[in-house]
Amino acid sequence: MKKKILVTGGCGYIGSHTLIELIESGRYDVLCVDSCVRSTPETLDRVKNITGVEVKNYKVDICDKDAFFKVFEENDDIAGIIHFAAYKAVGESVEQPLMYYRNNLGALANVLEACQKYHISHLLFSSSCSVYGDVKTLPVNEETPMGEAFCPYAHTKQIGEAMIRSMQVPNPGTTSLILRYFNPVGAHPSGMNGELSPDKPNNLIPIIMHVASGVLPQMTVFGTDYDTRDGSCIRDYLHVSDIADAHVKAMDYLVEHRNTDGCEVFNLGSGNGVTVLEMLDAAEKVVGHRLNYVLGDRRPGDIPAIYGDSSKAEQLLHWHCRYNVDDMIASAWKWENYLKENVK
Ligand code: NAD
Ligand code: WQD
């Protein structure tokens, strides 16, 4: 019988792709809780266009405990929660730290309380490679110690991980996995779902796409004097549908009781470090024309290089990346064009 999974933040970027992969696995029924504070309910129309399945959303702020708990009163058969809902903009977290601590940690506290109160068996938590801080030894594996958080957002992920671990004592009935993502990019291979970035995106791929389509006239490469092979920063980009697939495999792992501890940590990255200039070169080939970029100063707060070792996820979750950098860019480009045509 299919297990019912509650996806928080399912109208967002990674959550919506995970809904698609959960549905397409044939093993899970899904339910969504998203206040749409950083997304729109139309995302679920796109999920329906791709999967044929209408996903029910509870438009609830998870920090509102009474409203959130009503979801569990109405659904007494939830087997697991995948908790994506959070704010995620590094710069905004520096400007408004309390908003980040309140939302990201307040929501997680309610999720953890719900796990205990409603006897939820399994929990997956979205963490981030930002918990490692400015690491010196690469690639980063799960044993790499956390470094100093470079922004309040990263700090909420470090505290969030500690909150989950500490609940193992009072609530051993919930088994949890902490998934540390590197840089998720791209869109569904159909091009019919992707990231709705803010008007002024901060992340590399949405900016490249905006320059490629003419929405932005020009972009800047932030730093070309780093100690890397071409002087620009190195990151570990991975396709959003691969991240989504990892969540299905992570849920399988818990459901099949293959875990050896009540709370385990997994890196989710491609294992490949790619520079900004290499991404631009790949993007020019995919979109078929030159991109207007200039070489500029370093962006404050950027670390020179980070990429992950995801062999633990490959071995234990039986997960591997299906998509390469060209696929990431090609899908993002399809989505950019789909947006122009279909989303006003
Ligand atoms: P997103 O902003 O696209 O999605 C988050 C969703 O959560 C949004 O739909 C938003 O409306 C919802 N939400 C936020 N606070 C809420 C609340 N209190 N109640 C109900 N809904 C709420 O973000 P994403 O890129 O899909 O990221 C998902 C998770 O993955 C986040 O926890 C993020 O920190 C983490 N993560 C993201 C990245 C990345 O680069 N995208 C990298 C590492 C980790
Ligand atoms: C990638 C590279 C920039 C824009 C962030 C969060 C991290 C995680 C993933 C959530 C960097 C360079 C960018 C531009 C550029 N998110 N760049 N010109 O900073 O690696 O990671 O998202 O957990 O916590 O910090 O991602 O996409 O912003 O930048 O040269 O216009 O592209 O300097 O080297 P980042 P990004």
Give the mean pLDDT of 113-139: 97
Place of tokens 């109405």: 74
Q: Closest-lying ligand to the alpha carbon of 92? A: 2
158: in domain: yes
Q: Which residues face 264 on adjacent strands? A: 177
**How would DSSP label each residue in 93-145?**
HHH-HHHHIIIIIHHHHHHHHHHHHTT--EEEEEEEGGGG-S-SSSSB-TTSP
pLDDT at 109 over 70: yes
pLDDT at 116 over 80: yes
Percent of the chain predicted with pLDDT > 90: 97
In the reported structure, the alpha carbon of residue 55 is separated from the centroid of ligand 2 by a whole-number distance in angstroms of 31
Query: Which tokens in the block code for residue 89?
Result: 């903009």
How much is the mean pLDDT over the chain? 97
Q: How far apart are CA 260 and CA 267, in angstroms?
A: 17
Q: What does each C-alpha distance from 263 to 83, 145, 166, 195 come to in angstroms?
A: 15, 17, 10, 30
DSSP state of 305: B
pLDDT at 60 over 80: yes
pLDDT at 27 over 80: yes
Give pLDDT, residue 198: 80
Give pLDDT, residue 340: 87
pLDDT at 126 over 90: yes
Reported as a single tens digit per residue, the pLDDT across 272-302 is 999 999 999 999 999 999 999 999 999 999 9
Inter-residue long-range contacts of 212-218, CB under 8 Å, 24+ positions, other chains counted? 212/283, 212/287, 212/289, 212/291, 212/333, 212/336, 213/336, 213/337, 213/340, 217/292, 218/292, 218/293, 218/294
User: What is the extent of the structural domain holding 12?
Assistant: 3-185+238-269
User: Which atom number of ligand 2 is nearest to the Cα of residue 157?
Assistant: 23
In the reported structure, the alpha carbon of residue 126 is separated from the centroid of ligand 1 by a whole-number distance in angstroms of 8
**Residues that are catalytic:** 153
Reported as a single tens digit per residue, the pLDDT across 188-212 is 999 999 999 887 899 999 999 999 9
Domain of residue 32, CATH code: 3.40.50.720
In the reported structure, the alpha carbon of residue 216 is separated from the centroid of ligand 2 by a whole-number distance in angstroms of 17
User: Which atom number of ligand 2 is nearest to the Cα of residue 296?
Assistant: 30
Query: Domain count of the chain?
Result: 1
In the reported structure, the alpha carbon of residue 77 is separated from the centroid of ligand 1 by a whole-number distance in angstroms of 25
Count of C-beta atoms within a 10 Å radius of residue 62 = 25
DSSP state of 308: B
Q: Closest-lying ligand to the alpha carbon of 154? A: 2
208: in domain: no
Query: Which tokens in the block code for residue 16?
Result: 């919506």
323: in domain: no
| pTM of the model as a whole | 0.98
In the reported structure, the alpha carbon of residue 252 is separated from the centroid of ligand 2 by a whole-number distance in angstroms of 31
User: Which atom number of ligand 2 is nearest to the Cα of residue 90?
Assistant: 25
- Of all helices (H) and strands (E), which one includes residue 275? strand 274-275
Give pLDDT, residue 281: 98
> Which protein residue has the closest C-alpha to ligand 2 atom 13?
204
> Which protein residue has the closest C-alpha to ligand 2 atom 3?
222
In the reported structure, the alpha carbon of residue 99 is separated from the centroid of ligand 1 by a whole-number distance in angstroms of 14
Who's near 251: CB < 8 A, 6+ residues apart?
Answer: 3, 5, 22, 28, 80, 82, 122, 124
246: in domain: yes
**How would DSSP label each residue in 240-259?**
HHHHHHHHHHHHHHHHTT--
Query: Which tokens in the block code for residue 122?
Result: 């399994």
Q: What are the b/e assignments for 123-150, b being 16+ CB within 10 Å?
A: bbbbbbbbbbbebeebbbebebeebebb
**How would DSSP label each residue in 1-39?**
-PEEEEEETTTSHHHHHHHHHHHHHTSEEEEEE---TTS
> Which protein residue has the closest C-alpha to ligand 2 atom 14?
204
Q: How far apart are CA 243 and CA 316, in angstroms?
A: 15
Q: Are 8 and 111 in contact (CB under 8 A)?
A: yes
- Ligand 2 pocket, CB under 6 A: 88, 90, 128, 130, 183, 202-204, 207, 219-222, 233, 235, 276, 299, 302
Reported as a single tens digit per residue, the pLDDT across 290-340 is 999 999 999 999 999 999 999 999 999 999 999 999 999 999 999 999 998
Residue 166 exposure: Cα atoms within 13 Å on the Cβ side: 9
Rg for the chain, CA atoms, rounded? 19
Q: Closest-lying ligand to the alpha carbon of 86? A: 1
> Which protein residue has the closest C-alpha to ligand 2 atom 18?
221
Count of C-beta atoms within a 10 Å radius of residue 13 = 24
User: Which atom number of ligand 1 is nearest to the Cα of residue 157?
Assistant: 34
Give the mean pLDDT of 131-138: 94
Q: Which strand ranges, in their side-by-side order, compose the sheet holding 78-83?
A: 57-58, 28-33, 3-8, 78-83, 122-128, 175-181, 263-268
Query: Which tokens in the block code for residue 332?
Result: 């993002």
Reported as a single tens digit per residue, the pLDDT across 66-95 is 999 999 999 999 999 999 999 999 999 999
- Ligand 1 pocket, CB under 6 A: 9, 11-15, 34-39, 61-63, 84-86, 88, 103, 107, 126, 128, 181, 183-184
344: in domain: no
DSSP state of 62: T
> Which protein residue has the closest C-alpha to ligand 1 atom 25?
13
Give pLDDT, residue 344: 59
